[in-house]
Amino acid sequence: MFANTIVLAISGVDKTLVRVNQDNFGSTYKYTSSTEILSLQFRNSSEKNATTGDVERHNMFVEHTVLATPTASEKYYTFSATLRMRKGGDPAALAAVTTAASTVLAAQLSGLVQGES
């Protein structure tokens, strides 16, 4: 189980999210202020697949809402990641693939968010 708080740095500003729910296979963390709401969810599950074999699935989902002001409308942003491996796979190998993909995402992010592909 992860810690009761997790820090997300948004535009260089640390936001401390507090766990608000822990259920069988996941956790939800929240941060709320007068100007924004952040939610972070982790979920773990298994998928039955007759073709490829059973798969372990691990998800992370972030929602960031910047609340409306008298001069600006509400803004809403999300990010999600899904990690999957066949049952019995090597978690270290999945972590290595995830790290490699995260490196590419970080390097290409400025173009990706502008619609470049």
Distance from C-alpha of 31 to C-alpha of 107, rounded to nearest angstrom: 28
Name the strands in the sheet holding 5-10, side by side, starting at the edge strand that comes first in the sequence. 5-10, 13-23, 26-32, 36-47, 55-66, 75-86
Q: pLDDT at position 39, please?
A: 97
pLDDT at 108 over 90: yes
pLDDT reading at 64 higher than 90: yes
pLDDT, averaged across the chain: 94
Residue 1: pLDDT over 80: no
Distant-in-sequence, close-in-space partners of 49: CB < 8 Å, separation ≥ 6: 55
HSE of 26, CA atoms in CB hemisphere, 13 A: 14
What residue spans define the domains of the chain? 5-86, 90-117
pLDDT bucket at 102, cuts 50 / 70 / 90: very high
pLDDT of 22-50, one tens digit each? 888 899 999 999 999 999 999 999 988 88
Q: CATH assignment of 5-86?
A: 2.40.160.220
pTM, to two decimals: 0.85
Distance CA 95, CA 98 (A): 5
